[in-house]
Amino acid sequence: MPLFRKKNETAVDYSRLPEHIAIIMDGNGRWARSRGLPRTAGHAAGAETFRTIATYCREIGIRYLTVYAFSTENWKRPAEEVSAIMGLLKKYLMEAIRDMEKEKVRFVFFGDLSPLPAELRELAEKTQERSAVYTRCQVNICLNYGGRDEILRAAKAFAARCAAGEKAPETLTEADFSGYLWSAGVPDPDLVIRPSGEERISNFLLWQSAYAEYYFTDVCWPDFGKEELRKALAAYQGRSRRFGGV
């Protein structure tokens, strides 16, 4: 945790940090296009930003970080771009496995990994299994993830248990239903951040973010560094969370 604030650095109360931050890592393509670069260059720059932000969250004491890495709709993108994203994910996971003992970060994947290339899927499963012993900081990577798909899968899972006589529909509570989601056991996000100027949630954590605070910025994800995160945290700390109350 920082012990002092540098000149011109946004003031943050590190004793009142959100427990869980979720980020829609948006704007890689626009960042690249504004520089006359291919979209793949934007994804490479965005991957480095993810590394920076994930490390910083661990350092300041954020318990959970969830990032939107690849949605169920992203398969519609050009094959070259999809391949580049998968390659970057593979590179990051290989480095994560290499540095796991030093970083002590737990990695969990939200989403259906079955359509992924076999090598990437195996790396994801290996990373998740080997990092399960760490409890200081958990990074949830939403990969082939969609909020509607997640809710539909959860509903089907509960319905199957009802059909088997193990559950009764009238007994279902919100807490019970949360246990059928990819995020089972993870507290709901306190703060959802979306860079790039877009102001929509894009099928991200639809159930979990019901009472999250949102922070939007025109800064594209590759330029979203530590200071931009501090701005988001300062904005979050200036709000009053009432959860439907007064």
Question: How far is residue 192's CA from residue 194's CA, in Å, rounded to a whole number?
Answer: 7
Catalytic residue among 26, 28, 140, 190: 26
β-sheet with 191-194: strand ranges across = 105-110, 137-145, 64-71, 20-24, 191-194, 213-216
DSSP category for residue 9? P
Active site residue 140: no
Three-class SS of residue 140?
strand
Phi/psi class of residue 52: alpha, beta or left (left: φ > 0; alpha: ψ in -120 to 50)? alpha
- The answer to whether residues 123 and 86 touch, using CB atoms and an 8 Å cutoff, is no
Q: Report the DSSP pairing between strands 105-110 and 137-145.
A: parallel
Residues 6+ apart with CB under 8 A from 146: 71, 72, 73, 111, 203
Active site residue 74: yes
> Which secondary-structure segment (H or E) carries 64?
strand 64-71
Question: How far is residue 53's CA from residue 75's CA, in Å, rounded to a whole number?
Answer: 26
Catalytic residue among 13, 28, 74, 112: 74
- Two tokens, residue 32: 């690249």
Burial (Cβ within 10 Å: 0-12, 13-18, ≥19) of residue 99: exposed
Residues belonging to the active site: 26, 74
